[in-house]
Amino acid sequence: TMPGSSAWTLGVVLVIAVALIWSASTVLVQAIFSTLEFERPVFLTYVANSCFVILLPIKALRSAVYDPPATGLLDQTAALTPAEELDEATGPTERGAAERASRRSARLAAVRGALALCPVWFAANVTYNVSLAHTTVTTSTVLASSSAA
């Protein structure tokens, strides 16, 4: 864990980074709308949000490398305590199956939550991009910041 002051400093740096990225992306979107005369906020939102799909294979690869499923009896019993080794009611095979079922259940819950949030997220982004097409960056930023409070 991090000491209090370094965690606070990291938090401040991350907040500043988010603010800079938010401002840069807002300026970029407005430049696309005005300079390139490409006023298609729904299309732009669709393309930008579709880029999140790139993260799925990265997550799957990371899970495969850092959290591989146990393949044999030795892999499953390596971390058992002596008391767990003696417990015949829940052997290593049942524990492994229960753990896999628990992970699958957690993934399904995450997918359901994402599917429920997806339309709201898309609508919010479309609304913000439409506002960028009709106002200045400053106005959109102030409105978005004050409406979240």
Dihedral sign from CA coordinates of 59, 15, 17, 53:
positive
Measuring CA to CA, how many Å separate 47 from each of 10, 30, 68, 87, 133? 31, 16, 33, 53, 16
- Copy the structure tokens of residue 71: 């393949």
Give the pLDDT band (50/70/90) at residue 79. low
Top pLDDT among 93 and 111 is at 111
Q: What is the pLDDT of residue 113?
A: 92
Q: What is the pLDDT of residue 75?
A: 44
- Copy the structure tokens of residue 17: 């980074």
The burial class, CB within 10 Å (0-12 / 13-18 / 19+), for 96 is: middle
Give the pLDDT band (50/70/90) at residue 81. low
- Copy the structure tokens of residue 48: 């930008």
pTM exceeds 0.75 for this model = no
